[in-house]
Structures are given as C-alpha cells and as structure tokens.
DNA sequence: CCTTAATATAACATAATGTTATAATAAACA
DNA sequence: TGTTTATTATAACATTATGTTATATTAAGG
C-alpha cells in the first residue's frame, strides 16, 4: 500500500541517530543491527522526499529539514511512550477517570476522606463527584452517566445493580447536654427533647417513629430535614437532638457535638449502585471495593 | 522482539473503530479487510493488557480504559499527519527556518521587503535576521551559525562561498537642493558641498576619493559613517550630501531625500555569503535565489 | 425460522523490519 | 604511503507485522 506517512520505527531510528551521533551507535541503542538502521532511514528519506542527513567526513549530520521536524518527531515518540505508560497504569488501576454520584451529605462527610486516600497513591486517577437527590442519582445510573452512586431509599431497578449497606446510627446532642451522662440513649431518654429528623416519607423516619411509638413516648418534631449533615449542624447550634448515621456524626464531634449509641438499633440503609449495562473500568471496581471497605467501622 | 509499545497501525485501527462505530465500518475507512482490523485490535488489546472494548448487542463499544487513552491516541495520529504535511512543505520549500546575518543597513532597507514578500506565501517558514558588522558576519559564516549573509568588503575566505553583486550608487541630497536641476552629478558638481561618506578604509570610499582626485576636485569630508542608511538620514537633515547605494536611497525618497545618477559609475559591491561546509536547506536556497533576483533593479 | 449484520478464526500472501556477510568510503596512525 | 580502524551501504535471506479470502460464529430483525 502507498502511504506517505512515515512509520514509527523509522522515526525512532532517526531520533536515535540524532541523539547518538552515528548509525552504528543508534543501532546499539535500538538493539538492532547497523544495516537495519540504514535500511529504515533510507526508506524514510525516500518516503519523505528530502535528504535526512548531510555527509561530513564519512559521517551523517542531520540536515536542516530533519532538524526542523525534530521537535514534532520527539513529541510523537514521547506520546507513544506515554500511551504505553498510561496503559500500564490503567492495567494496574493507577489511571482512569471515575464519575461518582452521591447524596449531598456524602459529598461533605465520609466520601472526601475515602477519595483523598484513594487518589493520594494514584496521581493519574481523576474523579467527578456530583451530589444530588436520590431521584437524580437513579436517573444517572439508568442513563449510564455515572460509574458509581451512593444513595438511599433505593427500591431497586432492573438496570441498576446495588449493594445495600446498613450503617449504624447514633443519637447526637450538643456538648454539655444532660444526655452526656448516659451510655446508651433510648426513646424514653428523648421524651422531653426537640427532635430533628429526616423526611417523614423516608424509610428511616418511619422506623424511628415506630420505635418511639413502641416505647409509648411522644415524638416532639421540631425540624424536618433531608440530610443528616444538616441535622448535625442544627444540633451543634442547640436547636434540638437527632438520630443520624454514625459516619455523619463522626464528622461533627470536633464541632461541639456529642453522640451515644441509640437503642433500639436503627440502621440507616444506604445503597451502593452501578449501571448494570455499563462495564465498569478497572479503577472504578477498585474504588467501589475500597469504599465498601471504608464503611466497615460504621456497620450496624 | 518484545516491545510493549503499541504500533501506529494498531492505534489507527482503534481510532477508526471509535470514530466509525464498528469494525466493519472501520475497515472500509482504512481501506483494509474487516479481519485485518480484528487482528490489529486483538493484538493491541493483548499488548496493552486490558480490554479495548465491551460487547453490546453483538457490537463493540469502547471500554472506559480506551476512552481514557483516546485524547493521547488522537494526538499521536494528528502529529503523525502533521509530520507528513510538514515534510511535504519542506520538500516544496514551504516550511523551514532560515538564519540570515546582514549589515545593519540591510535590516532596515531592502531586506525587509524581500523577506515580507517571501514569507507571505509561506506561512510555515520562519526566519532569524541578525544585523551586525562585517567581521561578525564572517565569523558566523565560518562557524556555520547562519545560513546566509549579506555583507561588504569581503575579501574571500576558504570556508565561505560568496557571490559578489555590484549595486548601483547615486548621489543623494535634500529636497529643493540646487543639484535637483541636474540629470547626472559629477565630482565637479559636488565641489562646494559637505560630503557624508563611508569609513575611509572601505573599498567604496577609496574609489570615491580617487574619482574626486581624478577630477581635480577637493573632497570636503564632513561626516564619516559606516552605514549608507545613516548617511541618508543625515542628508535628510541637511548635514550634507552623499553617494550611497541605490537601494538605500530608494527607502528615503519619501522622507525628503532626492537622488541623481552619479558619474563616474561607482558600484558598491556587496557579497552574498554562505558557509561552504553547511548544506543549505531547500528553502534557504530558494530565498537566496529570490534575494539575488530582487537586486536586479539595483545592479550597476 | 430465515435473513442480515457484525465479529472471529484459519490459511495464505505481502510488506516491513531485522540478520549476517561483505563491500565501499574516509580518517587516523605508523 | 600503506595499514588499520571506524562508519556507512548493499545483498541475500529470515522473521514479524499486516493484509487477503474464505468461512464460522453470534446476535438482532423481520
């Protein structure tokens, strides 16, 4: 076939002669015989249509045309090496891009620590993190727009693969609160408190309300909010007390918030989701495994 | 040989599949058979160590690893095409870089017009123009640091190839000067004028002085300067009159300077020089030819 | 169930790259 | 000035990469 474009091996040979000063040295550098280098360069010169070298004292000196092309040729060879290097990194899950959708609370609580740790040892990995409502997260999974999702109240979907995780919850209250004296908090202990809680149609709230009802304790609703992190903020400000997931509570301990185990055990179920029809990248699989592992200390 | 780097043809095949949506279409695009594309990609996948494609409905969808590499691969293919294109331009003398050394006067008189015209039709050609003294220009030629030199008072050198050009000279004087009434100016006409002239050890000055001596006319030296352009500036300012090369005079006509032919004919010899030991680029040869041609209207 | 589309495999052909042997050219050295 | 060394070029052959035709396999569409 007649193709006017030079071949990579030819450019490698050319650069080797430029860098090493002679055909003989270039051959040594490339681990091929000297006539092979001569052949490659003869073919290349004929292909390009100009003399690659001048002849000086029986040796080859790069022509000015060759020097003019040199930066581009070097760039090509560097890019090829980079493709090779990045491929190796991809195989070793040290390169790639992940797109993660999560509940807003996760973007500012547990997830950043896991991401930072993961990226620390993987300079060639990058991520997009998009917080949004569970409805939107589901849309993105179905539309294959994200590699991984962290959501709750997920009832399942044929196009979405999910892993449910039961996160331990705790009762949170402001520092120097009388509840500090208790080792475990029950609905009875919360009888005279203002309660900050999640949306009343959420699975978690329904369970919590039942726990109070079973204990014959009045539930004093003060603030309804979607995110555990918002609840924690309000608790810090003395608006009331709340039952939230342990990994949200952990973030606020140094901000004037205290917590104790809550009884009955009320796990908050989150779902780790992935589009069934989208083949995950190797690095995505590794991150998802790491993320699941990171939840271990918070399991119910 | 075991080489982990991918081959160019393989990357071309990969990009063709990404761009065209199927192996079958890629084969058509590359003008090869479909099994050839399959072979290239199978080899590439084995080489890189990860799956290039996912399989969806019996068709191939680029994997996320492939998508991650895509910008680099595209860049390599673009660069290869660019090398091919630039090579073509080099062959057609439409690309390259020239380094020109010239007498200071040339950098602001005749040369810029020639350069501008030359570059107008050659967007991929670039130049370095360095004005300096004849001694330095000679050094640069001997040291092969410049492709081309425009100098004078060049007595020859074994390492320097030169072409001598006799440039017509003219007598220049300010506008509204009595000499305006003459068609030709002789030393006799300049008897009562202040003369601005070149260095007294220059060939040109020696010749001019002899012309005055032969005519038995006193030479009123007022200013000695190296450059014809500086002489022209002084003439414009009424400091005196001068005999200078026609191509310098031409530049000052619109600045209040007038000129007339001088007799006896006193050509100013310039030398177009080039390092003998440095092979000129194709574009350099073309420029030198153009430059010589551009002097035709100014030949003695 | 048949047809069409797309991909994979096998066997063979061609082109590109590589080897060994040796010739040609030029510089260095005695 | 002749010999030795260094460097490049050429020839003949070998290996690898790429390409072909023929055909099998898989999946979707009608």
Q: Which of A11, A83, A87 shows the shortest C-beta gap to B49?
A: A87
Contacts of B198 (CB under 8 A, 6+ apart): B204, B205, B224, B225, B226, B228, B231
Domain hosting A282: range is 95-166+269-298
Residue A257 lies inside a defined structural domain of this protein: yes
Q: Which of B56, B91, B126 is the last residue of a domain?
A: B91
* pLDDT number for residue A211: 93
Residue A3 lies inside a defined structural domain of this protein: no
Q: Which two tokens stand for residue A210?
A: 């039942």
A101 with A127: CB under 8 angstroms?
A: no
| Best CA proximity match to B113, nearest among B269, B242, B293, B299 | B293
Instruction: Over range A157-177, report the average pLDDT.
Output: 93
Q: Is the CB of A28 under 7 A from strand D?
A: no
Residue B3 lies inside a defined structural domain of this protein: no
Residue B106 lies inside a defined structural domain of this protein: yes
A2 pLDDT higher than 60: no
* pLDDT number for residue B94: 93
Number of domains in chain A: 3
Residue A231 lies inside a defined structural domain of this protein: yes
Q: Which residue is nearest to nucleotide C15 (CA to C1')?
A: A1
* pLDDT number for residue A173: 95
Judge whether A64 is closer than 8 Å to chain B, CB to CB: yes
**pLDDT tens string A91-112:** 999 999 999 999 988 888 789 9
Residues B198 and B82 in one domain: no
**pLDDT tens string B118-148:** 999 999 899 999 999 999 999 999 988 999 9
User: SS3 letters for B15-78?
Assistant: HHHHHHCCHHHHHHHHCCCHHHHHHHHHHHHHHHCCCCEEEECCEEEECHHHHHHHHHHHHHHH
DSSP structural state of residue B161: E
Residue A163 to chain B, least CA–CA distance (Å): 22
A256 pLDDT higher than 70: yes
Query: Residue B213's CB: how many other CB atoms inside 10 A?
Result: 12
Q: Which nucleotides of D are covered by protein (CB under 7 A)?
A: 6-12, 16-23, 26-28
* pLDDT number for residue A36: 96
* pLDDT number for residue B208: 93
* pLDDT number for residue A104: 85
Indicate yes or no: CB of B86 within 8 angstroms of CB of A72. Answer: yes
Q: Tell the residue number behind the tokens 């300012």, with chain if given.
A: B237
Cα-based distances in Å from A69 to A52, A72, B166? 10, 6, 38
Q: How far is the CA of B17 from the C1' of D19 (A)?
A: 17
Residue B1 lies inside a defined structural domain of this protein: no
Instruction: Over range A219-228, report the average pLDDT.
Output: 90
Q: How far is the CA of B58 from the C1' of C1 (A)?
A: 20
Within chain B, which residues score under 70 in pLDDT?
1-3
Which nucleotide minimizes the distance between its C1' and the CA of B12? D18
Residues B258 and B291 in one domain: no
Residues B190 and B65 in one domain: no
B65 with A284: CB under 8 angstroms?
A: no
Q: Which of B68, B91, B114 is the last residue of a domain?
A: B91
Residues A248 and A230 in one domain: yes
Q: Which residue is nearest to nucleotide D25 (CA to C1')?
A: B58
CATH number of the domain at A73, please.
1.10.10.10
Q: Which nucleotides of C are covered by protein (CB under 7 A)?
A: 5-11, 15-22, 25-27
CATH number of the domain at A211, please.
3.40.190.10
Instruction: Over range A276-289, report the average pLDDT.
Output: 91
Q: How far is the CA of B148 from the C1' of C12 (A)?
A: 57
Which nucleotide minimizes the distance between its C1' and the CA of A56? C26
Indicate yes or no: CB of A69 within 8 angstroms of CB of B80. Answer: no
Indicate yes or no: CB of B50 within 8 angstroms of CB of A84. Answer: no
Judge whether A65 is closer than 8 Å to chain B, CB to CB: yes
Residue B56 lies inside a defined structural domain of this protein: yes
Q: Which of A2, A52, A56, A64 has the highest number of chain B CBs within 10 A, making it the mutation to test binding with B?
A: A64
Q: How many CA atoms lie within 13 A of B153 on its CB side?
A: 18
Judge whether B203 is closer than 8 Å to chain A, CB to CB: no
Residues A174 and A158 in one domain: no
Judge whether A6 is closer than 8 Å to chain B, CB to CB: yes
Tell me whether strands B195-197 and B221-224 are parallel, antiparallel or unpaired: parallel
Residues A66 and A211 in one domain: no
Residues B59 and B86 in one domain: yes
Residues A71 and A188 in one domain: no
Instruction: Over range A123-147, report the average pLDDT.
Output: 92
Indicate yes or no: CB of A68 within 8 angstroms of CB of B90. Answer: yes
Residues B68 and B182 in one domain: no
In A270-299, the residues whose Cβ lies within 8 Å of chain B are 277, 279-282, 284
A3 pLDDT higher than 60: no
Size of interface A-B (CB pairs under 8 A): 122
Residues A289 and A161 in one domain: yes
Judge whether B6 is closer than 8 Å to chain A, CB to CB: yes
Residue B19 lies inside a defined structural domain of this protein: yes
Residues B70 and B34 in one domain: yes
Task: Give the integer Cα–Cα distance in Å for B29 and B33.
Answer: 10
Q: Which of B8, B43, B64 has the highest number of chain A CBs within 10 A, making it the mutation to test binding with A?
A: B64
Judge whether B5 is closer than 8 Å to chain A, CB to CB: yes
Q: Taking all residues of chain A, what is their mean pLDDT, rounded to a whole number?
A: 92
Which nucleotide minimizes the distance between its C1' and the CA of A58? C26
Indicate yes or no: CB of B279 within 8 angstroms of CB of A63. Answer: yes
Task: Give the integer Cα–Cα distance in Å for A183 and A251.
Answer: 20
Q: Which of A9-13, A105-109, A240-244 has the lowest mean pLDDT?
A: A105-109
Q: Which residues of B touch A33 (CB under 8 A)?
A: none
Alpha helices per DSSP H over chain A:
8-20, 23-30, 34-48, 64-91, 104-107, 110-120, 134-142, 203-214, 228-236, 246-252, 282-294
Residues B32 and B50 in one domain: yes
Q: Which of A40, A58, A91 is the last residue of a domain?
A: A91
Q: Is the CB of B33 under 7 A from strand D?
A: yes
Q: Which of A5, A82, A280 shows the shortest C-beta gap to B72?
A: A82
Q: Which of B7, B50, B281 shows the shortest C-beta gap to A65?
A: B281
Burial of A16 (0-12, 13-18, 19+ CB in 10 A): buried
Task: Give the integer Cα–Cα distance in Å for B98 and B94.
Answer: 12
**pLDDT tens string A41-54:** 999 999 998 999 99
Task: Give the integer Cα–Cα distance in Å for B122 and B126.
Answer: 9
């Amino acid at each position: 076939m007649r193709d006017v474009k030079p071949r990579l091996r030819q450019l490698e040979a050319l650069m080797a002669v430029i860098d090493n000063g002679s055909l003989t040295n270039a051959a040594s550098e490339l681990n091929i015989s000297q006539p092979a280098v001569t052949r490659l360069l003869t073919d290349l010169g004929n292909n390009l249509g100009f003399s690659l070298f001048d002849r000086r004292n029986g040796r080859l000196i790069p022509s000015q045309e060759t020097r003019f092309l040199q930066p581009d040729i070097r760039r090509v060879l560097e890019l090829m090496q980079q493709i090779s290097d990045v491929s190796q990194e991809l195989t070793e899950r040290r390169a790639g891009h992940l797109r993660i959708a999560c509940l807003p609370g996760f973007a500012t609580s547990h997830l950043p620590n896991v991401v930072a740790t993961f990226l620390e040892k993987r300079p060639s990995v990058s991520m997009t993190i998009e917080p949004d409502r569970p409805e939107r997260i589901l849309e993105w999974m179905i539309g294959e727009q994200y590699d991984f999702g962290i959501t709750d109240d997920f009832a399942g979907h044929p196009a979405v693969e999910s892993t449910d995780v039961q996160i331990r919850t705790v009762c949170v209250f402001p520092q120097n609160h009388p509840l500090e004296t208790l080792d475990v908090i029950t609905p009875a202990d919360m009888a005279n408190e203002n309660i900050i809680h999640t949306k009343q149609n959420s699975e978690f709230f329904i369970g919590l309300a039942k726990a109070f009802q079973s204990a014959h304790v009045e539930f004093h609703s003060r603030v309804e909010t979607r995110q555990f992190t918002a609840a924690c903020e309000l608790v810090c400000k003395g608006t009331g007390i709340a039952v939230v997931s342990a990994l949200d509570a952990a973030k606020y301990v140094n901000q004037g918030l205290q917590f104790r185990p809550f009884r009955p055990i009320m796990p908050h179920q989150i779902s780790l989701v992935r589009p069934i029809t989208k083949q995950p990248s190797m690095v995505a699989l590794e991150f998802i495994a790491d993320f699941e592992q990171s939840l271990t200390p918070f399991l119910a």
